[in-house]
A and B are shown apart, each in its own frame.
Chain A
Amino acid sequence: MSVVYALATPAVKSAICIFRVSGEGCHDYISEIFGLDSPQPRRFLLCDLKNNETFIDRVGLILFKGPESYTGEDSFEVYAHGSLGVMSLIVDLFDSKGFDQASPGEFTKRAFINDKINLNEAESLSDFIESASSREVFLSGASLFGDLSKKLSDFSERINSLRVRVEAEIDFSDEGQDFMDGSLSNDLSLLIEDFGSFVSLCINKREYSNNKNIVLVGPTNSGKSSIFNRLLGYERAIVTDAHGTTRDMISSEVFFQSNKFSIFDSAGIRETEDVIEKKGIETSIKKISDADLVLGVFEKKDASLVSSFKKMCDKGSFFIIQNKIDINSSDTSFFDCCVSAKTGEGFNSLKNLVVSFFERNKKNNKNSQYLIRDRHVKLFNQVTKDLDIALKGLNDSKSLELVAEDLKNARSGLDEILGKKFSDSLLGDIFSSFCIGK
């Protein structure tokens, strides 16, 4: 495959930047770029990076020899100083050597193609690279390093060992042996229980990343858009002193304390004849009922106004925020948090409030270890369903071949996640577990 390169660190000024290069033949360029002859792989080498005798930077270099590399191909990594100037010079250099810029996920794709990682690992790796918050990194790390695969293989094996007993009972019933003692149904319910707790340790990527929805609500002109802008750190929403400025829901991702949130600024709610504004208000109300956290923004204490907003949010939690404390006196006994969008006062405690709210609320996710995708969620549900039906069938003494079918389906569901070929070594397992044959 062609030689590709990519900047592995963000393209911003930083202490160091890392370039990765991979592809057959990329090692042929080592001597002309780094002035090294047959350097040892897997060593951190300090050397000068040059473009046609022009010195660019003093860099660290690590060589990987395929297949002992991430992609399975010959590859190398360059650790250079993180100035934008250096970065662009290196990019120019690689381009001039005919290296292609890697498309997103290219390295992982190559690793998958070269059988370095399975489909499941490949997917969680791209989660790893995409993931923005440090917690997500941790989570996808667990699946990345084969832990998720291993867990799934274990379950797949356990289902298989149940199948061995059921299938032996079907195919060798004339052997005068009891393959399926009463423990089968017990073992199956244990398996279902374990699988259930495993699934509860998995969170869907989408759920995890997107479900931290925060909506700013409140009466018009209370300063919602101003708070939104301050949380973002730049002027995104239009701010005016006219009532009813914001008419459409606008949203953005924000990061604080290594957490990613989706934050929504809504149209202030009031009685209105304006069609467009009305529409905006309707979406606001809808968004409020979906939100995980609703921040009500008010200028002053007004219990009945607050409660009319609170009624709108049914599943998320509702915090009341006082704004404009630069011009109004703050009322900490009534409000959860008092800020000024103008001066920035109180914003640290507002952020803390939000972060700790999500930390507290994600108590289920607190122990989460595996980050999974929609595809997995669907298959997990199916597997759980198949196992449940199998157990029920076993207990209701349904025909055994149907129970066998349920178990087979459950197994192939797991194997699909693992991206394995559905190879059935079932008969072999039966023969090695039981004395069979006349």
Chain B
Amino acid sequence: MDKFDVIVVGGGHAGAEAAFAVSRSGLSCALITMDQTKIGQMSCNPAIGGLGKSHIVREIDAMGGLMGRATDLSGIQYRTLNTRKGDAVQALRVQCDRDLYKKAVQKILKETNIKIIQDEVVDFLLTNKKAQGVITKSKTYKSKKIILTTGTFLNGKMYTGNIIKTGGRIGDESSIPLSKRLYSLNLPMGRLKTGTPARIKLSSINLLDMEEQPGEKPTPWMSLASPPKKHQKQLSCYITRTNKKTHEIINKNIHLSAMYSGEIKGIGPRYCPSIEDKVRKFQDKNSHQIFIEPEGINKDLVYPNGISTSLPKKAQQEFIFSIKGLERSIITEYGYAVEYDFVDPRTLKQNLETKYLENLYLAGQINGTTGYEEAAAQGLMAGINASNSIKKLKDFVLERSEAYIGVLINDLTSHGITEPYRMFTSRAEHRLLLSQNNAEQRLILKANEIGIVKKERVDKYLSNEKEYKKFYTNNLVKLKKDFFIDKNGAKIRLQEKRSISSLLSRNDVDEKKLFKPNKKDTKLYQRAITEIKYSGYIKKQIREINKTKKQNNKQIPTNIKYEEIHGLSNEVKEKLIKTQPQTIGAASQIEGVTPAAINLILIHLKKKELVSQNA
């Protein structure tokens, strides 16, 4: 029987990143997937990054993951969002060539020791509540750990109008036996749904009627590490809009939409509404924006972002034809909604291992998230933690104040989800600490401790940091001025000479006129400006973090008798008894545990302490 340290089931974004992390940890790994030519496939829109998401990609990248690199190998349009806002909330969005992206992922995996197996997993090898391997349609494989990353495939059903097909995404079979198996293992499961728009031939649309949106110049890179020599050929996106007529057509046909006919029970994401939802819920808006995104460099295909739908084909055609520039569209694939099983992520520990079945880890859309980046992040973390556990190392857990990935996993495992979960910057209460540009400063050394980042990369990082410190002291601390130019161009004289760094902390100073760095130092200067601007806020956040840490870290003794704490409602008592939180912080994260309840627990603990002191 073949044997591996870790088996990863699924070759999507979570699976690829998980397997890659295991191989970087120096362990043996098999990646079992239904169709190996589709490893790294983008199921929905061909773009990586965006608000809250590029942050995640950079974090993965700083820990040696593959997503940033694959993006740079396939990126055909780069744009930074929120340029008029500050550093922490700026985000890079990259349009990718769908085929090149997939190829890049496959190439990166091929360079490793990962064994790729094309098969369908239908069951687990179990011995007393421990997973010890998987059973596929044809074989049995043993392993110490299993990471399940089956995405939208578990009992996946696709809807177009009243036509229902089984499948995980268009052109792929759904994964039914495994779904049944998970239900029979009593994992808490539910249904979610998401949707995708029709695909249209580029040659059939009239771009002249649309607003062009070119990429950014100079073109940036997604990965913070050494990029490929050259960017791929860069393309533009285009913008058009729905109109009154479009909305009339949709309203007229809405009862035929799978989502409105009651066919679909799963909950869809509110931030990714179908065009039916947008028209129905926001009746007063008579136009919605559509981005026409290229599918690839030499591809006669576009992805119309903004009109995801599950209307019948005829209605889809009719409303698309009503849109400016799309009047003569040739539709190659129709939009559909997909409904699939997910596992309630509250059954996971912070290391993404299930509490139900030892050695089984879950990552990606199976945990109720949506998006390539969210999936990849979980894959990475599951891969690292599975490896750490084999090597008897500590769990690798990121704090909410340390990374968006920390926010993601903490949200999932402690609050669960009510709709497909996507990252937003506003989910991170310590947002100012978490810029896409400081991901390396935050994570690379931590990742290096467990040996998953290449040495050259770490060395380069360290020398960059040294260079920055040197630049900072030599120019910003030592250099002093007794005047500056303010934002209105007025010259302000100062009583005494002040360093550049202290002048930068003023709100009224024009930074560009204050100091003119050498060309090679522009980035360093920019970084200094950001750090100084944020420093007051950051100090405050750090104070808060430390404050809550202190209380949150208070240990709850394992022999605590919740039933003895008067005043706790029975419901809360039950939850606490079931979850057995180890710390006050963990207790306060449990749903329904109010601050009043936390106070009672604290009072109870205090009382116990007093009693034992007096005894």
Min CB distance B436 to A, Å, is 13
Q: Tell yes or no: A426 within 8 A of B by CB.
A: yes
From A114, A172, A400, A409, B86 is in contact (CB under 8 Å) with A400
From B86, B282, B426, A399 is in contact (CB under 8 Å) with B86
Residues of A contacting B427 in the complex (Cβ-Cβ under 8 angstroms): 427
Q: A203-211, A221-229, A430-438: which lies at the B interface?
A: A430-438
For chain A, residues 72 to 119, give those with C-beta under 8 angstroms from any C-beta of chain B: 110, 112-115, 119
**Beta-carbon contact of B566 and A401 below 8 Å:** no
* CB nearest neighbor in A for B84: A400
Residues of A contacting B256 in the complex (Cβ-Cβ under 8 angstroms): none
Min CB distance A179 to B, Å, is 12
Interface string of B385-428 (1 = CB under 8 A from A): 00000000000000000000000000000000000000011110
Residues of A contacting B600 in the complex (Cβ-Cβ under 8 angstroms): 113
**Beta-carbon contact of A167 and B426 below 8 Å:** yes
Q: Provided the pairs A170-B426, A401-B432 are in contact, do residues A1 and B86 lie with their beta carbons within 8 angstroms?
A: no
Bound-state CA distance A305–B581 (Å) is 73
Bound-state CA distance A110–B285 (Å) is 52
From A114, A172, A435, B285 is in contact (CB under 8 Å) with A435
A174, A175, A398, A409: most-surrounded residue (chain B CB, <10 A): A174
Bound-state CA distance A405–B540 (Å) is 11
Q: Tell yes or no: B567 within 8 A of A by CB.
A: yes
Q: Provided the pairs A173-B51, A173-B82, A438-B306 are in contact, do residues A431 and B270 lie with their beta carbons within 8 angstroms?
A: yes
* CB nearest neighbor in A for B308: A438
From B88, B281, B289, B569, A175 is in contact (CB under 8 Å) with B289
Interface string of B292-331 (1 = CB under 8 A from A): 0000000000000110100000000000000000000000
Range for the number of chain A residues in contact with chain B:
35 or more
Q: Tell yes or no: A11 within 8 A of B by CB.
A: no
Q: Tell yes or no: A171 within 8 A of B by CB.
A: yes
* CB nearest neighbor in B for A405: B537
**Beta-carbon contact of A176 and B239 below 8 Å:** yes
Residues of B contacting A167 in the complex (Cβ-Cβ under 8 angstroms): 426
Min CB distance B246 to A, Å, is 14
Bound-state CA distance A119–B291 (Å) is 50
Majority secondary structure, A binding face: helix
For chain A, residues 393 to 438, give those with C-beta under 8 angstroms from any C-beta of chain B: 396, 398-402, 404-405, 408-409, 419-421, 424, 426-427, 430-431, 435-438
**Beta-carbon contact of B51 and A399 below 8 Å:** no
From A115, A173, A174, A431, B596 is in contact (CB under 8 Å) with A115
From A114, A170, A427, B82 is in contact (CB under 8 Å) with A170
* CB nearest neighbor in B for A23: B566
From B273, B540, B596, A437 is in contact (CB under 8 Å) with B273
Q: Tell yes or no: B201 within 8 A of A by CB.
A: no
Q: Tell yes or no: B125 within 8 A of A by CB.
A: no
**Beta-carbon contact of A402 and B537 below 8 Å:** yes
**Beta-carbon contact of A170 and B272 below 8 Å:** no
Residues of B contacting A112 in the complex (Cβ-Cβ under 8 angstroms): 596
**Beta-carbon contact of A174 and B81 below 8 Å:** yes
Residues of A contacting B281 in the complex (Cβ-Cβ under 8 angstroms): 435
Bound-state CA distance A110–B596 (Å) is 11
Contacts A405-B537, A424-B429 known; 12 new A-B pairs at CB < 8 A: A110-B567, A170-B82, A171-B51, A171-B424, A400-B84, A401-B432, A420-B595, A427-B424, A437-B270, A437-B272, A438-B45, A438-B289
Q: Which residue numbers of B lie inside 8 Å of A, CB to CB?
A: 45, 50-52, 81-82, 84-86, 88-89, 93, 239, 269-273, 278, 281-282, 285, 288-289, 291, 305-306, 308, 424-427, 429, 431-432, 507, 533-534, 537, 540, 566-567, 569, 588, 594-596, 600
The 6 closest A-B pairs by CB, nearest first: A399-B86, A113-B567, A435-B282, A431-B270, A438-B306, A176-B289
A-B contact pairs, 11 of them (CB 8 A): A113-B566, A170-B51, A171-B51, A173-B81, A400-B84, A401-B85, A405-B432, A408-B429, A421-B594, A427-B424, A436-B270
